[in-house]
Amino acid sequence: MIKIENLTININKLSVEDDNELLDSQVPSVVRDELVSTLRIISEDSRFAGQTVVIPDGCEKYGFTEGEFDLPELLEFLADMLE
């Protein structure tokens, strides 16, 4: 199981041409794209290498299989699914 304490990951806000900040957007496709990017950034963080996530029994109804999974790979999988 993963236990994260006192971990901060800074993600810089990007501006588009008209100075609207993408992370402040309410447009669903922009929000989804930012979430995908964030998941990919976090999955490459060396602090998560070798860590696992345990998905308990009963999560099949949410589309997850019971078991223990590599955290970076799971985050990449989630990013792929959202994309």
Whole-number pLDDT of residue 71: 93
Whole-number pLDDT of residue 74: 92
Whole-number pLDDT of residue 15: 43
- Give the list of residues 6+ apart from residue 13 with CB closer than 8 angstroms, or none: 21, 22, 23, 24
In angstroms, the CA 68 to CA 57 distance is 11
Q: What is the mean pLDDT of each run of 10 residues along the chain (83 residues)?
A: 57 49 67 88 90 89 89 93 88
The CB-side HSE value for 42 (13 A sphere, CA atoms) comes to 20
Q: Structure pTM? A: 0.65
Whole-number pLDDT of residue 67: 92
